């Protein structure tokens, strides 16, 4: 590792707040030592997932002692991941990722911005490439991880695991080994421990080739983003998208334009269907609604529809001392301490999910409305109550278990929809 080059590349962090995500492993320990010599305002973040018993506790204690030795403040988030997984369902690694990124975002908000430094390296990049390849990812997915992406930075992304370990040994730094990395029940671990070592033996240049491909995908993605931004801006200002231009664009550029408008890949398929349909057919794309016209898609802000609907309804929030004996679908009771941020009433959006009482995991609001046999005309005006993180109530249909009040709640909010 070239420490001088690292200091030079990341010197812009000197006057920024930087949170270092430190697990206690060699990657994050080396990153912490390197950034300590660069940053004036450094803080360590550690997540104890409580998944490995005594080892999880020892990891936390190691990070605590390291921060004391380096005189760096530390914030620890300790969670019962198994219980969360039981409640929410899904994949353990996905749930753990959601936990830590929610933690990171909380800290960024708490300190009004800054950067979160993550310890991924080039071996992680290669593993990510093959995982995304297996998921049939597009150009964005095959671009994998960036050194700088919004408020997340990866200072060690161009160094291999072996280089990082060798450097740590040269410096006499100690770290903790996570034995779960040797377990092959997860796809990434099987890639790391079985598949890729065999491929490297058969194809010695594979690492360099994959990293070159990732670089090419990243360059292509940046080009797409720049080109799409021009089209995105024009669509917003003209509130239309000419069919001739739509037809002339590459598939990848169309996907990127829709992504910037807040839509998903599936939206493109829907647009292609209404492109030749009768006038007035519509597709919702994020905060926008596309209508099939004569020579173009006519586009309006989805909020314009929402505002008409919300003129007739409001949300009433009242503090109460205790829960009622009987409940109804027209009123919910929330634990004020579990609500994240501000409660808002809005119409549902594509991709909205709820974690309903009485079931594991979560469910798309669109599926809730389908199961309730809500007509297509009424679906777009269906309301939800949400906080800054989750949908807590699909009004009249499902209530989320995430923030619901119970007999142990110290502060209870009565929430109901009222007609204006």
The answer on 342 and 301 residing in a single domain is: no
User: pLDDT for 120-138, tens place per residue?
Assistant: 999 999 999 999 998 878 8
Reference 163, options 302, 31, 54; nearest CA is 31
The answer on 128 and 53 residing in a single domain is: yes
Residue 239 has pLDDT above 90, yes or no: no
Residue 215, pLDDT score: 96
The answer on 260 and 199 residing in a single domain is: no
Say which residue, 137 or 32, is predicted with more confidence. 32
The answer on 283 and 344 residing in a single domain is: no
Residue 307, pLDDT score: 52
User: pLDDT for 74-101, tens place per residue?
Assistant: 999 999 988 888 776 678 888 888 889 9
User: pLDDT for 396-405, tens place per residue?
Assistant: 888 898 888 8
The answer on 324 and 392 residing in a single domain is: yes
Domain boundary among 273, 288, 305: 305
Dihedral sign from CA coordinates of 94, 100, 106, 112: negative
Give the range of the structural domain holding residue 342, as residue numbers without chain letter.
312-419
The answer on 275 and 338 residing in a single domain is: no
Mean pLDDT of all residues in the chain? Answer: 88
The answer on 62 and 147 residing in a single domain is: yes
The answer on 282 and 404 residing in a single domain is: no
224 in any annotated domain? no
Q: Can you tell me which residue has the tokens 């998208």?
A: 241
**C-beta neighbour count of 37 within 10 angstroms:** 10
Give the model's confidence band at 262: pLDDT under 50 very low, under 70 low, under 90 confident, else very high: confident
> What's the full length of the chain, in residues?
420
Quick one: tokens of 116?
């979160």
Residue 286 has pLDDT above 80, yes or no: no
User: pLDDT for 47-81, tens place per residue?
Assistant: 999 999 999 999 999 999 999 999 999 999 999 98
Residue 206, pLDDT score: 96
Residue 378 has pLDDT above 80, yes or no: no
Say which residue, 290 or 350, is predicted with more confidence. 290
Residue 191 has pLDDT above 80, yes or no: yes
Q: Are 271 and 257 in contact (CB under 8 A)?
A: no
Domain boundary among 305, 320, 349: 305
Residue 44 has pLDDT above 80, yes or no: yes
Residue 310, pLDDT score: 57
What is the CB-side half-sphere exposure of residue 354 using CA atoms within 13 A? 27
The answer on 336 and 290 residing in a single domain is: no
pLDDT > 70: percent of the chain: 95
Please tell me the total count of domains within the chain.
3
| Rounded average pLDDT over 260-265 | 81
Give the max Cα distance, the chain.
71
Residue 346, pLDDT score: 85
11 in any annotated domain? yes
The answer on 284 and 373 residing in a single domain is: no
The answer on 195 and 175 residing in a single domain is: yes
The answer on 197 and 55 residing in a single domain is: yes
Residue 308, pLDDT score: 47
Give the model's confidence band at 285: pLDDT under 50 very low, under 70 low, under 90 confident, else very high: confident
Residue 117 has pLDDT above 80, yes or no: yes
Phi, psi (degrees; rounded to nearest 5) at 333: -125, 120
Residue 377 has pLDDT above 70, yes or no: no
Indicate whether this model's pTM tops 0.75: no
Dihedral sign from CA coordinates of 236, 237, 238, 239: positive
Residue 329, pLDDT score: 64
User: pLDDT for 352-372, tens place per residue?
Assistant: 889 888 777 888 888 888 888
């Amino acid at each position: 590792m070239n420490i001088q080059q690292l200091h030079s590349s990341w010197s812009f962090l000197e006057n920024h707040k930087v949170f270092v995500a430190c697990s206690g492993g060699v990657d994050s320990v080396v990153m912490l030592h390197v950034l300590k010599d660069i940053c004036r305002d450094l803080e360590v973040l550690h997540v104890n997932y409580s998944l490995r018993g005594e080892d999880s506790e020892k990891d936390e204690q190691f990070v605590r002692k390291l921060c004391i030795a380096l005189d760096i403040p530390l914030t620890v988030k300790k969670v019962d991941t198994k219980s969360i997984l039981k409640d929410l369902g899904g994949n353990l690694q996905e749930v753990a990722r959601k936990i830590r990124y929610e933690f990171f975002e909380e800290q960024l908000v708490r300190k009004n911005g800054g950067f979160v430094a993550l310890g991924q390296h080039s071996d992680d990049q290669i593993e990510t490439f093959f995982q995304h390849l297996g998921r049939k990812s597009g150009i964005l997915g095959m671009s994998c991880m960036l050194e700088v992406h919004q408020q997340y930075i990866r200072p060690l992304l161009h160094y291999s695991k072996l280089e990082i370990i060798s450097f740590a040994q040269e410096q006499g730094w100690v770290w903790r080994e996570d034995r779960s990395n040797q377990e092959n029940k997860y796809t990434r671990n099987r890639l790391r421990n079985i598949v890729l070592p065999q491929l490297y033996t058969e194809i010695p240049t594979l690492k360099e080739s994959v990293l070159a491909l990732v670089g090419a995908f990243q360059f292509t993605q940046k080009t797409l983003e720049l080109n799409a931004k021009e089209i995105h801006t024009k669509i917003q200002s003209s509130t239309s998208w000419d069919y001739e231009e739509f037809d002339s664009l590459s598939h990848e550029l169309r996907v990127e334009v829709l992504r910037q408008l807040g839509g998903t890949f599936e939206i493109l398929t829907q647009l292609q269907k209404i492109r030749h349909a009768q006038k007035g057919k519509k597709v919702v794309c994020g905060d926008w609604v596309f209508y099939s016209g004569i020579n173009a898609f006519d586009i309006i802000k989805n909020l314009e529809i929402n505002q008409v609907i919300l003129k007739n309804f409001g949300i009433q929030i009242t503090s109460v001392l205790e829960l009622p004996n009987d409940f109804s679908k027209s009123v919910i009771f929330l634990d004020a301490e579990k609500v994240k941020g501000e409660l808002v009433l809005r119409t549902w959006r594509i991709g909205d999910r709820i974690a309903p009482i009485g079931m594991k995991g979560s469910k798309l609001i669109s599926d809730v409305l389908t199961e309730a046999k809500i007509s297509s005309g009424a679906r777009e005006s269906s309301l939800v109550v949400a906080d800054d993180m989750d949908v807590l109530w699909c009004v009249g249909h499902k209530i989320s278990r995430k923030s619901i009040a119970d007999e142990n709640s110290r502060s209870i909010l009565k929430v109901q929809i009222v007609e204006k």
